[in-house]
Homo-oligomer: A and B are copies of this chain.
Amino acid sequence: MHFTVLQQDITTAARTGRLALPHGTVETPVFMPVGTQASVKALDSADLYRTGAEIILGNTYHLYLRPGTEVLETFSGIHRFMRWDRPVLTDSGGFQIFSLSSLNKVSEDGVLFQSSLDGSRHFFSPEKAIEVQRSIGADIIMCLDECTEYPADYDRAAASQALTERWARRCKAQWERQDTEAQSLFAIVQGSVYESLRRESAQAMAALDLPGYAIGGVSVGESKEEMERAVEWSTALLPRDKPRYLMGVGAPEDLLKAIFHGVDMFDCVMPTRNARHGRLFTRHGPINIKNARFARDPGPIDDGCPCPACGTYSRAYLHHLFRARELSVLRLNTLHNLSFMIQLTAQVRQAIGSGNYAAFMKDFLQTYQPGREA
């Protein structure tokens, strides 16, 4: 992996970059659609290319349970299995183990958990998480972390952060036994909402000198202000020449604020999940296509949007399909919301390139009403 910062904004920490990976080059800041089970919900890989996606995320927890590493290895990994030849990033499974498993028991050695599919028991050590991700074959893989719950008091957050740090060292050692060119390892900064812990975690992870860094333990229930501060504290101490990935974020407004603080990569299920509930992004804020006011509206979801849904269909038709519970609308809505996020990051890169990111962000946030038809 090779990461190049192309342009550093002067008045903000925003920057553009280029990430060269085994399956292709990614321009940053980038939004990664979430393909949990080797599929971005409602889309196939041909659709994903239509959205302009340059890299997608897969969930190690889900892929490990189904189809399992043996099937993935039969296909030499996720790329050939799902027929997506651009880069993939996998998380470590940590977040899902803590949020989806009916049982999870953390020890120094790793985490014992029960499958959400059939109740079977499994154990992920830091080494095992790297091994599973090797079978999946993503371009970027993540260290196993303990995603600290919210709220967590200082002592609990400190202990959790320290465990994540020790696990990161073991992940690095395991990764170094494998092909470090084929897969690049990122460590995850934790530390909850505490400045000293976020700084401590960022410094400790930076000292590991890995290809990239993620900021975890956000979007877990804390306020928007707490999230923004956690991001700011973390990015301030992460190396400038390495990519920074904010996990599980986010909404257009959150993405712009994190880019302001120097974040390069994002993933979030919100655009795809909202699409399936009829909530569609426009540059004035989200609309809900179920709303009766769209029943005869001949216009597209969002004027000027280049996505296949806006290029072909009216709001009236999408409204009808949604009311009639036709499956096709879930795909069309998803194509739109992902295209919107991907277009937004392209506009962000252009604004940073033109040296006016702060003005761009201000303008966008003035026009965009996050609560509209929420």
Q: How far is the CA of A82 from the CA of B47 in the complex (A)?
A: 20
Complex CA–CA separation, A71 to B43 (angstroms): 29
Known: A39-B328, A295-B67. A46 touches B312 (CB 8 A): yes
A–B pairs, 10, beta carbons within 8 Å:
A38-B320, A44-B308, A44-B312, A44-B328, A44-B331, A71-B295, A71-B320, A74-B316, A83-B312, A83-B313
Q: Residues of B contacting A324 with CB < 8 Å?
A: 37, 39, 66-67
Q: Is A7 an interface residue (CB 8 A)?
A: no
The CA-CA distance from A2 to B215 in the complex, in Å, is: 67
Contact B81 A43 (CB under 8 A): no
Q: Is there a chain B Cβ closer than 8 Å to A327's Cβ? A: yes
Contact B316 A75 (CB under 8 A): yes
Q: Mark A37-51, 1 if CB is under 8 A from B, else 0.
A: 111011111110000
Q: How far is the CB of A129 from chain B (nearest CB, A)?
A: 21
Query: What is the interface of chain A, defined by CB distance below 8 A to chain B?
Result: 37-39, 41-47, 66-67, 71, 74-75, 81-83, 295-296, 298, 308, 312-314, 316-317, 320-321, 323-324, 326-328, 330-332
Given contacts A71-B295, A71-B296, A295-B71, contact A43 B316 (CB under 8 A): no
Taking a contact as CB atoms closer than 8 A, the residue among B42, B83, B316 that contacts A317 in the complex is: B83
Which residues on B sit within 8 Å (CB–CB) of A46?
A: 308, 312
Contact partner, A320, options B67, B321, B330, Cβ 8 Å: B67
Tell me the bound Cα distance from A326 to B62 in angstroms: 13
Closest to A66 in B: B324
If A37-B321, A39-B328 are given as contacts, then 12 extra A-B residue pairs at C-beta distance below 8 Å, sorted by A number, are A37-B320, A37-B324, A37-B326, A41-B328, A44-B313, A46-B308, A46-B312, A67-B323, A71-B316, A81-B320, A327-B331, A328-B331
Q: Which of A38, A66, A298, A317 has the most CB of B within 10 A?
A: A317
